[in-house]
Chains A and B, each alone.
Chain A
């Protein structure tokens, strides 16, 4: 036979995907930190999960962010104008960094996400590094503040650089595109 035995679409098709469970069982984790729901969707093609992860991270951010007694101490770690005053609901006021992104982790099977995900707020320190609250809130955290929320660096996407310019490619384009 000169043709493929099968031809499967994973994401392009809207029809339910049928994959035989026995011959393909590769699974992997997809982890990333995203600055917005849009960048998450661009990477994962899964708007629903991205939105849910963002919402959950935002909800958790105030509770799990490191706490500082004053703005200066917070800004020393997280940069100017990156901190806000917060309140723990029992009239204790403190300062914490603003959520600058969110962390999302999903299990993949054959490249497509399985149900369920983990998400957490992500904060960017003044060196440009990304951190998230330590799982369980304790132990091994390298960033520890007086009020005790441990932070761990996010290593999944350690290679980051501040973009200084965009749109340097694409001006030769036309609406018909460039394929040939």
Chain B
């Protein structure tokens, strides 16, 4: 795995505009960054990322039968009691899920280490599935990449296939919802809807804020239609706390991601995974936080922190790093500190996509710090089998 500087495509901004990529620059800061790419060998991709992703995904799903009936674990995961039965039912019925992203620390040496599961509201999907793919095709065509370069990225094909698979069982009308004013989230649901339409599913979009409720507790769209199924790019745990949350269990609404994802998109799953598979090469030691002092070599993460917020890191050398954010209260976990490796001062985090139950691609976000936050840039990757000498030449 190497980080290689490469000239940008001169026309990538106009291509982004043509393809609905409205958030390549966020708050005046670059988000899409193709001034470099990460080069992997096929073996690194297949043995170090793809295979472990599918294994960890299966391990996590295997825990669910136990968790849904285990009051202590449901409490450890901070699942509010009124939702227990509903979540359990969704898992017993194996309500379909669409996608998730495992985040790994990986540098080409030794096993990838799982930082967390983003299994409820993962983004950076469009840029991984589409724009990154287009970058590779363009740079191959321009002769800027070694001939035969490839990419671990069948995310698009997997999404269309997954939508096709769940199409028959999905309640209608089917809507995609995200926060009205979030350009990034709106871009992500626009892409997912695009894939669903290509799979032949008729579906619409709706702002999360516009969802209504009827007198008998069913959810409605702006046209007073009872929503059959809802893809919501909005955290389940926030829905639980908000005014309409109490209607969810009896509303008849089919959610994607389904309620059982609340058990996985929760850093509490990390200590449970560690307990069940202690010493697994892709897992970091983890435990529920008791609120005491954080020893050296450990990281504290809130159960529901997103975008690297409210992370406390006590490095082995004694340095302490801390990020601010909105998740100040609430339970945390501790995870053994395994720092990201720097590549020329950049710290890449590998996001490994699971669609359906298949590992189908990666997207890399790099930050200037050990903690990957919403300032991280998306940097494309390629699979390059050439020798080092050829690449440097």
Q: Which residues in A have some Cβ–Cβ distance to B below 8 Å?
A: 1-15, 26, 28, 30, 32-36, 38-39, 42-45, 101, 108, 110-112, 157, 159-180
Contact = CB atoms under 8 A, between A and B. Distances in A.
Contacts of A34: 223
B45 A2 contact: yes
A2 B152 contact: yes
Contact of B214 (A5, A15, A108, A161): A161
9 closest A-B pairs by beta carbon, nearest first, are: A179-B123, A177-B182, A168-B244, A12-B20, A163-B212, A161-B214, A111-B197, A177-B185, A43-B204
Contact of A4 (B19, B157, B206): B157
Contacts of B129: 4, 7
A165 B20 CA distance: 33
A168 B243 contact: yes
8 contacts: A3-B136, A3-B154, A8-B156, A26-B200, A39-B222, A164-B213, A173-B182, A179-B121
B154 A11 contact: no
Given A14-B18, A167-B209, A172-B238, A180 B214 contact: no
B367 to A, nearest CB: 14
B386 interface: no
A166 B234 CA distance: 16
Given A4-B157, A10-B194, A169-B234, A163 B214 contact: yes
A164 B194 contact: no
Nearest to B205: A42
A179 B233 contact: yes
Interface stretch (B173-181, B290-298, B313-321, B330-338): B173-181
Contacts of B17: 14
A178 B234 contact: yes
Given A177-B184, A178-B306, A13 B20 contact: yes
A163 B200 contact: no
B282 interface: no
Interface residues of B, number: 85
Given A43-B223, A169-B239, A170-B208, A28 B152 contact: no
A28 to B, nearest CB: 7
Contact of B226 (A9, A159, A164): A159
B242 A111 contact: no
A164 B224 contact: no
Interface string B36-64: 00000010010000000000000000000
A9 B204 CA distance: 16
B133 A39 contact: no
Contact of A13 (B18, B188, B222, B241): B18
B74 interface: no
B interface SS class = mixed
B118 interface: yes
Among A112, A161, A178, find the residue whose CB has the most chain B CB atoms closer than 10 A. Answer: A178
By CB atoms of chain A within 10 A, which of B155, B183, B222 has the most?
A: B222
A177 to B, nearest CB: 3
Contacts of A180: 118, 121-123, 306-307
Given A168-B243, A171-B242, A180-B122, A39 B223 contact: yes
Given A4-B154, A178-B306, A44 B179 contact: no
Give the interface centre of B178, B191, B223, B241 by most chain A CB atoms within 10 Å. B223
B208 A166 contact: no
A162 B215 contact: yes
A5 B173 CA distance: 31
A139 B147 CA distance: 68
B139 interface: no
Nearest to A172: B238
B152 to A, nearest CB: 5
Contacts of B210: 166-167
A177 B223 contact: no
B18 A35 contact: no
B153 interface: yes
Contact of A12 (B26, B178, B182, B194): B194
B214 A164 contact: yes
Interface in B356-379: 361, 374
A177 B178 contact: yes
A34 B156 CA distance: 32
Nearest to A11: B194
A28 B215 contact: no
B225 A4 contact: no
A61 to B, nearest CB: 18
A177 B19 contact: no
Contacts of B228: 159
A39 B204 CA distance: 10
A179 B122 contact: yes
Nearest to A35: B223
A163 B45 CA distance: 50
